[in-house]
Every structure is written in structure tokens, then in C-alpha cells.
Amino acid sequence: MKPLNLLAVSIVCGLITIVILSAVKLITQEYTNMSKYNLKTILEALETRDFVGWNGLPDSCAPGNLFDDFPVDLSDRPNRPLGKLFKPSVFVLLNIDGYYRPTASIRGNELVLFDGMNPELPGGFARLRDDLGEPITRLDWIYGTLEIPNGEWVYPERGITVFLNTLADKVLHIAVYRCTDLDNYVNTLRPNLRKKLKPR
């Protein structure tokens, strides 16, 4: 091959390399910005209790990236079994207004469940119900010691479950998680809200 041809090939290869590196950098930056935007949007939904349009927690959501002042060392934190299979998770009480005992449940370094009692939903349940539509299923649940038939409305494809009162017009508890299927929710994520009675 003539020297001029070699020079031309080298220049073309160099230009292609520059284009590829620039594209990778742009995609990486866009993904990082999108991740930050997603986390910001998620946190805003949790803090405002506005779950209209909710579509689940992001994949591999590290709680320290989402919540300010989240503890780094979870070794001394209590465990909480979730689901029918009693899958263990570490739980941490959070300081977020508008709930009673808002809780983060973590496995590894991933937030698998956020839930809280008596959420003050903007517009009440009616507004959220209009957005969510019909649930995949309605399960019986126990609010403390009160059994509420068909009161647990599960939307696993949206990553949200609402626990309603006996009249099905008020949310007494809410749980959000990654979008999943019903079996995985029931087996590994469903919170046990039954209150244990102390023996007299």
C-alpha cells in the first residue's frame, strides 16, 4: 500500500475513533443525568405522597443515593421478613412528613420496598384510583388486628400496593417497589401488617 493510502486510512480510523468515543461519552452523560432525574422524581413522589403516574422504583436503587442522611452501616439494624417466603430485609425508619412510620426495606444495597401508614395523599384515594384503575387482585389484609377483606389492592406492574379501609375509600397504608409480577410481590415483597397481641 502506498504511503498516501496508509496516511488516509490512519486519518479515517482516527476520525472514527473520535466519533465513537464522543458518542460513548454523550450516552454515558445522558444516562447519568437520566438516573439523577429519575431519583429526583422518585424522591419527590415519596415526599409529596403523589403517586399518580407512578411506575415503580428504579432498578438497583441504592437508598443512600435517594435519601439524605441515610445510614451507611446497616449491620446493627433490625431485620424484617417480607412476603410469603419471609425474605429477610433490613429496615430503616425514615424522616419523611405525611406518613406514620415511613420505612425503607433493603436487601444488599438495594431499596426493595418503601412503605408507610396513613399517607396523606393529595386528592385522597379517588385521584390515585382514577390513575391506577382496576388492580390485578384484591387480597385480604389485617390492619393491626382488624381483618379487611379485599382491601389490599395490588398493582405489581406499576410497583405499588394500596391498603384500604373497610369502605375502600381511604388508604391506610401504601407500599411501593420495583415493577414486578404478582407472584414475586406475594412471595418476596408483601409486608406483614398484622399486629401481634401481647399475652395477658
Query: Is residue 150, in this structure, part of any structural domain at all?
Result: yes
Query: Is residue 42, in this structure, part of any structural domain at all?
Result: no
Residue-level pLDDT at 68:
87
Task: Measure the CA–CA gap between 195 and 123, rounded to whole angstroms.
Answer: 29
Q: Which structural domain, as residue segments, surrounds residue 105?
A: 63-189
Query: Is residue 54, in this structure, part of any structural domain at all?
Result: no
> Where is pLDDT greater, at 146 or 2?
146
* pTM beyond 0.75, yes or no: yes
Query: Is residue 39, in this structure, part of any structural domain at all?
Result: no
- pLDDT 10s digits, 8-19: 556 655 556 554
Query: Is residue 166, in this structure, part of any structural domain at all?
Result: yes
Task: Measure the CA–CA gap between 111 and 113, rounded to whole angstroms.
Answer: 6
Residue 124 pLDDT greater than 90, yes or no: yes
The answer to whether residues 42 and 163 touch, using CB atoms and an 8 Å cutoff, is: no
Task: Measure the CA–CA gap between 186 and 101, rounded to whole angstroms.
Answer: 22
Percentage, residues of the chain above pLDDT 90: 72
Query: Is residue 156, in this structure, part of any structural domain at all?
Result: yes
Task: Measure the CA–CA gap between 190 and 29, rounded to whole angstroms.
Answer: 36
Residue 133: which of 68, 54, 57, 17 has the closest Cα? 54
Query: Is residue 21, in this structure, part of any structural domain at all?
Result: no
Residue-averaged pLDDT of the chain: 86
- pLDDT 10s digits, 58-114: 988 999 999 988 998 998 999 999 999 999 999 999 999 999 999 999 999 999 999
Number of domains in the chain: 1
DSSP state of 132: H
- pLDDT 10s digits, 164-182: 999 999 999 999 999 999 9
Task: Measure the CA–CA gap between 170 and 54, rounded to whole angstroms.
Answer: 18
Sequence-distant (≥ 6) Cβ neighbours of residue 95 within 8 angstroms:
69
Averaged pLDDT for residues 176-197: 92
pLDDT band for 6, please (50, 70, 90 cuts). Answer: low
Query: Is residue 178, in this structure, part of any structural domain at all?
Result: yes
